[in-house]
């Protein structure tokens, strides 16, 4: 699997709770890539949590940090990158994402809600109606996520390992210059 993408970065996009962080880490292991999570880099750089950034500086500041972090990450190669769910909102981010292969983890709202109902780390979901909020965010972003190179539809009950294998199997079908079996 080490030569699957010939060094180009893999970017995971999709809604909160779709599993970008979980699957991104597994994909890195399988491909012999390093793993980077844009949210983790932001938290390290800012020295505070995402909740604190949203509460103290606002979403616009978070989005600026996100773009700055992405611009630095994309200068590197051999990375599996888990993005934050809102990375697709800023048009400028797409110029960075398109340096690599973009994979959309496409999960239904019900599945996202089941995973995140008790979660306190996503400021956008600290809402009296988190399921309704997920639905409206997905409606806003659906067309943007659909700009990905590869769409992976997720089903309830599929393990991270199974999803990772499915992504690895589907990647060759969207590569412009696929690597041949012997090299």
Ligand X SMILES: O=C(O)C1=C[C@@H](OP(=O)(O)O)[C@@H](O)[C@H](O)C1
133 binds ligand X (CB under 6 A): no
How far is Cα 148 from Cα 101, in angstroms, rounded to an integer? Answer: 8
Three-class HEC string of 69-126:
HHHHHCCCCCEEEECCCCHHHCHHHHHHHCCCEEEEEECCHHHHHHHHCCCCCCHHHC
22 is in an annotated binding site: yes
- Which of 32, 132, 160, 172 touches ligand ADP by CB under 6 A? 160
How far is Cα 67 from Cα 42, in angstroms, rounded to an integer? Answer: 10
20 binds ligand ADP (CB under 6 A): yes
Residue 123 contacts which entry, ligand X, Mg ion, ligand ADP, none (Cβ below 5-8 A, type-dependent):
ligand X
Q: 101 - beta bridge partners?
A: 10
- Which of 7, 8, 21, 46 touches Mg ion by CB under 5 A? 21
Residue 160 contacts which entry, ligand ADP, ligand X, Mg ion, none (Cβ below 5-8 A, type-dependent):
ligand ADP
Site for ligand X in 30-59 (CB under 6 A): 39, 50
């Amino acid at each position: 699997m080490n030569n699957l993408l010939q060094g180009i970065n893999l970017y995971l996009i999709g809604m909160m709770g779709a599993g970008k962080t979980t699957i991104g880490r597994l994909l890195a292991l399988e491909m012999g890539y390093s793993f980077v999570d844009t949210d983790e880099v932001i938290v390290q750089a800012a020295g505070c949590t995402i909740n604190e950034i949203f509460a103290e500086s606002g979403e616009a500041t978070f989005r600026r940090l996100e773009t700055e972090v992405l611009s630095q990450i994309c200068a590197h190669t051999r990375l599996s990158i888990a993005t934050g769910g809102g990375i697709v909102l800023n048009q400028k981010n797409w110029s960075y994402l398109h340096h690599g292969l973009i994979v959309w983890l496409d999960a239904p709202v019900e599945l996202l809600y089941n995973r995140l109902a008790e979660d306190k780390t996503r400021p956008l979901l600290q809402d009296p109606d988190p399921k309704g909020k997920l639905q409206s965010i997905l409606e806003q972003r659906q067309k943007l996520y659909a700009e990905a190179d590869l769409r992976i539809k997720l089903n309830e009950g599929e393990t991270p390992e199974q999803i990772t294998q499915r992504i690895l199997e589907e990647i060759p079908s969207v590569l412009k210059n696929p690597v041949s079996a012997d090299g």
